[in-house]
Amino acid sequence: MTIIGFIAFILILDKFAFNFMFLRLWQFSTGFMALFWIKLNKNLPKEKEDTVSKNSPITQTDFISISLTIIGSCLLPRKLDVMVLRPMVTVATAVLIGCESKNVF
């Protein structure tokens, strides 16, 4: 649904697609995918900390920094193409949702 909705969003006129709710569902479904990712990771069996091997040098903090930089690009004085910026900001927001912090309060 996310991919098909995004393709329809890109193919339709910019102002119509922004105001038509069914062409914006891809953004909501991206957030739902992040929520399901969190629930899936909570239900996975925990491995012993000794045997956990990190294959990726990119940490959760790196993902958060990159996502906040992408979201901050909306504040630049020069206008960026919205058809590039909207998917980037949507995915960055989903990454922030997926990187939930356990000690927020």
Identify the burial level of 94 via C-beta atoms within 10 angstroms of its C-beta, where 0-12 means exposed, 13-18 middle and 19 or more buried: buried
Predicted TM-score (pTM) of the model is: 0.68
pLDDT tier for residue 52 given thresholds of 50, 70 and 90? very low
Nearest 5°: phi and psi at 49?
Answer: -65, -25
Measured between alpha carbons, how far is 92 from 86 in angstroms, rounded to an integer? 10
How remote is the C-alpha of 87 from its chain's centroid? 9
Report yes or no on 94 lying in a domain. Answer: yes
Overall domain count for the chain: 1
Q: Is residue 17 part of a domain?
A: no
pLDDT at residue 49 in the model = 47
Task: For residues 1 and 35, give the distance between their C-alpha atoms in angstroms, rounded to a whole number.
Answer: 16
Q: Would 33 be classed as within a structural domain?
A: yes
* 70-98 pLDDT per residue, tens: 888 888 888 778 778 888 888 888 888 88
- By residue range, what is the domain housing residue 80? 27-43+57-98
